[in-house]
Amino acid sequence: MPHCFFQITFKRHLPCGDNAGIKDRQGKPVNLTYHEGRYLSPFQPQYYEYSRNAEIRPDDILVCGYVKTGCHWMWETLNMIQKGKGQYSDLGKSAAFLEFCGPELYNSLPSPRILNTHNCFDWLPEKVRTYKNKIILTTRNPKDVAVSLYNHQINLPEVYNYDGEFPDWFELFLAGKGEFEMHCKSFLFQVYCKLEV
């Protein structure tokens, strides 16, 4: 798959823009998608629905984690282990990113698939619970997540449309605009309830 694949796929999601109306304390907007009561990365809302209803296979492995917690590195590492080679995937993580690429792409991937999602546990496809797929959860110190996510949003102005300062952005992060705490708690209680997932 050519390297331009990510750029082509990425551009297809840009028209979503901002539907959340979030602004920092200086009045600077940050593009987010507001969908079913949650502030999310600015992907088209229907792609969140596709991800929640994805056709999961019994041998799928899911890499789950909040944005900037190391999902990409984990996904690449698992692909290297699966292939028995220390080489990055030619396809790239975006082809297996449930809320990003859409079903036509991730359904075309051969089994066993290593899929990625930033969705909370309650938004994982229902078949994950039925098949008891392996779930690998990436976590990271919230301070590091905040700094990485701020830089991610600043460096993608065509997606997030944000050019504010970190202290102003950080207030939004602490206020839950991005759902970091919700994401962590959604998986935490699955671990401590000893559910077989």
pLDDT string in tens for the chain (197-residue length) = 333 344 444 444 444 655 778 999 999 999 999 999 999 988 888 899 999 999 999 999 999 999 999 999 999 999 999 999 999 988 888 889 999 888 999 999 999 999 999 999 999 999 999 999 999 999 999 999 999 999 999 999 988 999 999 999 999 999 999 899 999 999 987 865 555 55
Contact 138, 64 (CB under 8 A): yes
Total tally of structural domains belonging to the chain? 1
Contact 144, 5 (CB under 8 A): no
**Is the residue at 135 inside a domain?**
yes
**Is the residue at 81 inside a domain?**
yes
**Is the residue at 36 inside a domain?**
yes
The pLDDT value given to residue 197 = 52
**Is the residue at 39 inside a domain?**
yes
Q: Residue 60's domain is classified under what CATH number?
A: 3.40.50.300
**Is the residue at 93 inside a domain?**
yes
Supply the angle between the helices 142-154 and 180-192 in degrees, to the nearest 10. 140
Phi and psi of 58, rounded to 5°?
-60, -30
* Cis status of the peptide bond prior to 112, with omega within 30 of 0: yes
Domain of 109 in residue numbering reads as: 4-192
Interatomic CA distance for residues 93 and 127, integer angstroms: 22
Q: Which two tokens mark 131?
A: 């098949």
Interatomic CA distance for residues 192 and 137, integer angstroms: 14
**Is the residue at 197 inside a domain?**
no
The pLDDT value given to residue 189 = 75
The pLDDT value given to residue 4 = 34
**Is the residue at 117 inside a domain?**
yes
Q: Which residues of 134-171 are buried (b: 16+ CB within 10 A; e: fewer)?
A: ebbbbeeeeeebbeebbeebbeeeebbbbebeeebbbe
The pLDDT value given to residue 196 = 58
DSSP, collapsed to helix, strand or coil, labels residue 160 as helix
The pLDDT value given to residue 194 = 58
The pLDDT value given to residue 5 = 41
